[in-house]
Amino acid sequence: MGRSKVAMAMRSMATGSVATESMAARSNREHAVVLGASIGGLLAARVLADAYRRVTVIERDALPDGPAQRRGVPQAGHAHALLPGGGLDIGRLFPGLLDELRADGVPVIADDFAELHFVPLGHRLITEGRPNRPLAMYSPSRPLLEWRVRERVRALSNARFVDGTAVNGLVTDDTGERVTGVRVSPVDGGTIDSGGHDSGHDGRARVLDADLVVDAMGRAARTPAWLDELGYPKPKTDTVDVNVHYASQQLRMNSLAGKEKLLIVGATPERERGLGLFRHEHDMWDFTVFGIDGVRPPLDTAGMIDFVADLVPAHVRAALRAAEQLNQPHARHFPSSQWRRYDKLRRFPAGLLVFGDAIASLNPTYGQGMSVAAAEALALADCLRTEDDLARRFFVASAKIITDAWLLDAIADRALLGSRAGKPSPRERIGGVGAGRYLKVAEHDRVVAEQFLRVFGMVDRTSALQRPGVLARVVVGQRGGRRVAGRVTAMDERARPPEIPGVRRSIVTARGVDFHVTEAGSGTPVLALHGWPQHHYEYRNLLAEPPDGLRVIAPDLPGYGWSGPAPHRWAKEDVASDVLALLDELGLSRVLLVGHDWGGWIGHLMVLRAPERFTGFMALNIPHPWTTVSAMVPHLWRFASYQPLMATFGVPLQRHTPFLRRVIFGLGVRNRAEFTDDDVRVFAERFRDPVCARSARDSYRTFVLHELPALARRPERRRVTVPIHALFGVNDFAIHRSLAAAETANADDYTFEAVRDCGHFIVDERPDVVRDRLITFAAKVADR
């Protein structure tokens, strides 16, 4: 329903009981009965109370006095959040309710969208800072929200609840064309004092007369069967087969080390797993993991965490493992989304409506059900302004609301499952073509990402995605805009990281950089930083077979490999700050540091700046920072052979020529027995990516134009207290070993070792030596 109609509906509600009296007085609207006291039924009862003198809500469960789970809402124990559009609509239906939720301690994401970690179809949307247009997401637990709404309805003077009561069928007039009531009976065998009349059967079942009956009994609603009994056609049902199995548990956790209040990581075609982690009131979190296409998640806490361990940052994994368990994990199966097309029926009895999940039951992993029901409630309020043909008008209005949510869900589900999800409609097929492109740009374009969030959050219609300004940004972003690296998606098979057996991967955000982090092993943490033109794969041998007692952690540096770009021009001090922040995010107070090439230069800067963070440092084929200009002069020809070229023409050289393979790796590698052409290709191909190419160019441009002149003006004077072991391949074409000599190092404990039959790429050419020296060095500094 359009927001103008929402406003019109709300003006009729704003006067409260006066509006109720006037509307009821000019019609025969005496009594409305709502079947089901879940969110949908409660919202329907709210608007019906403005149009009928009496509203009765029938519920099979015994309704609790406070926020508690109940049998009739099994989904309440799984992750829930109120989408921004649903929050707006519920706030209009119940003025002041959102403030009550805040007072209850409900988290709200509004001013800083870095609190949202959202990865649909493998694309992490850029979410940072305050949105350009107001957009607020409330995250109450489902039992709390339902209780607050129920108490608001209970407070209405003309509404009442009859719980512990089963609905047995409809009652019609003699023609069968109008529903006039419902047959009910007590679940516990008691009696119902409902103002109805005896059914004539057993003295307990009764009939509740009603001018309108609203079936809000959810997915299991019985209206299709009742229509068949009354001789009416049943609605056709649109379906999307998803076969989702999910497991959930409530946990108690303090705030995460990051800002996240809500994490959603969807499945991809290659990874049929996902999760939702939602913070609620009182530091309670809903932790839900799910598998699609029949994949079943474990039903124990440790297994659930392991099931999604590679999908969340390290600090989230640590928090999950340390969390207090508030209940036992429980499972649920959702076979298919279904939409009963009441809007297409030509015959339908008067005096009957269907509402909420009873019309459309959507894939719960997208969390749209409550927000759809809130929008339907406002649509119903608008339809109740006149009396004629109420059912047809409401079903048409609700179909407009459902269409947007259904389209987004169906496009995503069919992208994941292909033909297994069923045959797509033409609109779904067209939408599916552009979805991957849109989300890819939303990784780095805040305007595109925010518009997607507004549509997904049911604030804007799906047509907003097709506005010319948005489409133009998508086209530009596809052609050459910055792409946030680090997303391993089905949309870009060539961009997938190379396989390393046993490695654990995650995306960890630190100082605005989305670090792609690989790690293996357990024990003493070893932070291994790569150089240019390489990425984490440089440490593939250590990652595939980590030494006993060592946990090898090899991130891609900002803009390299599969990490997101740096929010700066790759000044090495800035990158050092990025890596130190990464250690904080990983929860690592001290590590053993290994660094090669640029990773080694950044390592030197870090041990100078924060020696307390490092037990030791292995510097691999990199000058130490005390190198003077006079010491460099004899070797300037080495730097001049490639650094000015990289600083000036680095992007086209890396992307469109064999410069890396033939020049850098061709001249820089001495031992080709270990460093094969296939390995070289893995590195060179990645720098065809524009983000990687620009980051590498900036690495050299900043060094040549700013850092090298600054070093000449102000030589490094600080002394290092961290033990340093420098390994250097003596056949390095790019850097002469004298620039790392122990005699010129200003350090308490500095050892230099030359490695023969080795060029610049020592980790790749002599992995045996690097492994042996790492094990020995780790033992030496273990007690520091």
Which two tokens mark 268?
A: 């991809």
What's the mean per-residue pLDDT of the chain?
87
Q: Rounded to 5 degrees, what are φ and ψ at 737?
A: -65, -25
pLDDT of residue 433: 58
Of 416, 455, 432, nearest to 121 (Cα)? 416
Q: How many CB atoms lie within 10 A of CB 690?
A: 17
DSSP secondary structure code for residue 358 in this structure: G
Of 64, 162, 98, nearest to 374 (Cα)? 98
Which two tokens mark 568?
A: 């700066």
Q: What is the mean pLDDT of residues 59-64?
A: 92
Q: Are 326 and 307 in contact (CB under 8 A)?
A: no
Q: Which helix (H) or strand (E) holds 205?
A: none
Of 289, 283, 290, 288, nearest to 323 (Cα)? 283
pLDDT of residue 326: 93
pLDDT of residue 345: 95
Q: For residue 211, give Cα distances in angstroms to 9, 32, 381.
A: 21, 6, 16
pLDDT of residue 486: 33
Chain position carrying tokens 């030197």: 604
Instruction: Please determine, for residue 57, whether its predicted confidence score (pLDDT) is greater than 60.
Output: yes
| pLDDT, tens digit (0-9, with 9 covering 90-100), for 313-338 | 888 998 999 999 999 999 999 999 99
User: SS in 3 state form for 277-316?
Assistant: EEECHHHEEEEEEEECCCCCCCCCHHHHHHHCHHHCCHHH
The CA dihedral of 300, 303, 308, 313, to the nearest 10 degrees, is 100
Instruction: Please determine, for residue 606, whether its predicted confidence score (pLDDT) is greater than 90.
Output: yes
Q: Are 488 and 497 in contact (CB under 8 A)?
A: yes
| pLDDT, tens digit (0-9, with 9 covering 90-100), for 631-672 | 888 888 888 888 999 999 999 999 988 999 999 999 999 998
The rounded percent of the chain whose pLDDT value lies above 90 is 63
| pLDDT, tens digit (0-9, with 9 covering 90-100), for 205-253 | 899 999 999 999 998 899 999 999 999 999 999 998 888 999 999 999 8
Q: Rounded to 5 degrees, what are φ and ψ at 40?
A: -60, -50
How many residues are listed for the chain in this entry?
784
pLDDT of residue 651: 94
- Cα(320)–Cα(153) distance, integer angstroms: 37
Q: Are 163 and 62 in contact (CB under 8 A)?
A: yes
pLDDT of residue 634: 87
Strands 108-109 and 137-138: antiparallel
- pLDDT-derived band at 134 (thresholds 50, 70, 90) equals confident
Which two tokens mark 38?
A: 């879940």
pLDDT of residue 205: 81
| pLDDT, tens digit (0-9, with 9 covering 90-100), for 698-716 | 999 999 999 989 988 899 9
Q: Are 180 and 173 in contact (CB under 8 A)?
A: yes
Instruction: Report whether the peptide linkage leading into residue 533 is cis, meaning its omega lies within 30 degrees of zero.
Output: yes
- Cα(40)–Cα(549) distance, integer angstroms: 55
- Cα(694)–Cα(565) distance, integer angstroms: 9
pLDDT of residue 74: 62
DSSP secondary structure code for residue 195 in this structure: S
User: SS in 3 state form for 311-341?
Assistant: HCCHHHHHHHHHCEECCCCEEEEEEEEEEEC
Of 571, 568, 645, nearest to 605 (Cα)? 571
pLDDT of residue 77: 62
Angle at 577 between CA 573 and CA 583, to 5 degrees: 145
| pLDDT, tens digit (0-9, with 9 covering 90-100), for 392-438 | 999 999 999 999 999 888 888 877 877 676 666 666 666 665 787 88
Of 752, 702, 747, nearest to 723 (Cα)? 747
What residue ranges define each of the domains in the chain, with the CATH number in brackets? 3-104+140-235+341-405 (3.50.50.60), 237-335 (3.30.70), 497-631+711-780 (3.40.50.1820)
| pLDDT, tens digit (0-9, with 9 covering 90-100), for 723-781 | 999 999 999 999 999 999 999 999 999 999 999 999 999 999 999 999 999 999 999 99
* Helix/strand number for the chain, H first, E second: 26, 27
pLDDT of residue 313: 86
- Check residues 72 and 380 and name the one with the higher pLDDT: 380
pLDDT of residue 421: 63
Of 661, 668, 651, 648, nearest to 597 (Cα)? 668
- Check residues 629 and 659 and name the one with the higher pLDDT: 659
Q: What is the mean pLDDT of residues 606-612?
A: 97
Strands 108-109 and 324-325: unpaired
pLDDT of residue 1: 44
Q: What is the mean pLDDT of residues 37-55?
A: 97
Q: What is the mean pLDDT of residues 49-62?
A: 95
pLDDT of residue 417: 75
- Which residues 6+ apart lie within 8 Å of 526 measured at CB? 542, 550, 551, 552, 553, 591, 592, 593, 594, 774, 778
Instruction: Please determine, for residue 157, whether its predicted confidence score (pLDDT) is greater than 80.
Output: yes
- Check residues 371 and 202 and name the one with the higher pLDDT: 371
Q: What share of the chain is helix, strand, coil (3-state, %, to 5)?
A: 45, 20, 35
pLDDT of residue 101: 95
pLDDT of residue 422: 66
- Cα(251)–Cα(352) distance, integer angstroms: 42
Strands, sheet with 54-58, edge to edge from the N-terminal-most edge strand = 159-162, 54-58, 31-35, 212-215, 352-354
Read off the amino acid at residue 470. Answer: V
| pLDDT, tens digit (0-9, with 9 covering 90-100), for 339-363 | 999 999 999 999 999 999 999 999 8
pLDDT of residue 638: 84
- pLDDT-derived band at 98 (thresholds 50, 70, 90) equals very high
End-to-end CA distance of the chain: 66
- pLDDT-derived band at 478 (thresholds 50, 70, 90) equals low
pLDDT of residue 737: 94
- Cα(748)–Cα(784) distance, integer angstroms: 14
Query: Residue 300 burial (CB < 10 Å; 0-12/13-18/19+)?
Result: middle
Q: Are 400 and 112 in contact (CB under 8 A)?
A: no
pLDDT of residue 197: 36
- Cα(381)–Cα(6) distance, integer angstroms: 9
- Cα(410)–Cα(429) distance, integer angstroms: 9
User: SS in 3 state form for 349-364?
Assistant: CECEEECHHHCEECCH
| pLDDT, tens digit (0-9, with 9 covering 90-100), for 237-293 | 999 888 899 999 999 987 666 678 899 999 988 889 999 999 999 989 999 999 998
Q: What is the mean pLDDT of residues 157-168?
A: 95
- Which residues 6+ apart lie within 8 Å of 204 measured at CB? 185, 186, 189, 190, 191, 192
DSSP secondary structure code for residue 613 in this structure: G
Which two tokens mark 778?
A: 């780790």
For helices 426-442 and 468-479, give the axis angle rounded to 10 degrees: 60
Of 767, 761, 747, nearest to 620 (Cα)? 761
Strands 31-35 and 212-215: parallel
Q: How many CB atoms lie within 10 A of CB 263?
A: 25
Q: Are 219 and 339 in contact (CB under 8 A)?
A: no
Go through 246-256 and write b for each residue having 16 or more CB atoms within 10 A of its CB, e for each that does not.
Answer: bbbbbbebeeb
pLDDT of residue 508: 85
Instruction: Please determine, for residue 673, whether its predicted confidence score (pLDDT) is greater than 60.
Output: yes
